[in-house]
Structure 1
Amino acid sequence: MKVTVDQDRCVGAGMCAMTAGEVFAQHEDDGLVVLRMTEPPEHLTDHVEEAEQLCPSRAITVEPAAP
C-alpha cells in the first residue's frame, strides 16, 4: 500500500496517530499529521485503513501498492 497525507486538510484530531502510531505522528507545534512512512509493511494494513476511515477531515489517502 501507499499512504499520502494532505496537511492542508488535517485538523489535528490525532485519530491517525492513536490508531497507527507506527505510520502517523502529530507535529509538536500545531498537532498536524506527520507521515512516518509512505509504504508501511503489510502487518499494519488494517490499522492504516482504520486511520484513513477515522480521519474527520479525510486528510489520509491509502492506495494499493503498485504491481
Structure 2
Amino acid sequence: MRPLLMLLICISSFSSIAQSKDEQSILSSISYQQKAWNNGDLVSFMDTYWKSDSLMFIGKSGVTYGWQNTL
C-alpha cells in the first residue's frame, strides 16, 4: 500500500510541474501578443497563431480562411 501511495504522490507532482510550464507558456504568448498589439504590429501579433491555410477567423465581414489571408 505504501509504494502505491508514493507512486501516486510522484505522479501528481509531475503533473503540476507540467501544468505550471504550460501555464507559463500561455501567459508568455499572451504577453507577446499584447505588446505587439499595443505597438500596432499585426504580423507579430499573429505570430502565435497557427500558420496554416486551415486557420479560420470569424470577423465582421464573415469567415476568413488562412493565416496569410487573415492579415
TM-score class, shorter-chain normalisation, is under 0.3
Larger-Rg structure? 2
Structure 1 or 2: more strand by fraction = 1
TM-score (norm 1): 0.25
Q: Normalising by structure 2, what TM-score?
A: 0.25
Q: Which has the higher contact order (CA 8 A, sep 6+)?
A: 1
Q: Higher helix fraction: Structure 1 or Structure 2? A: 2
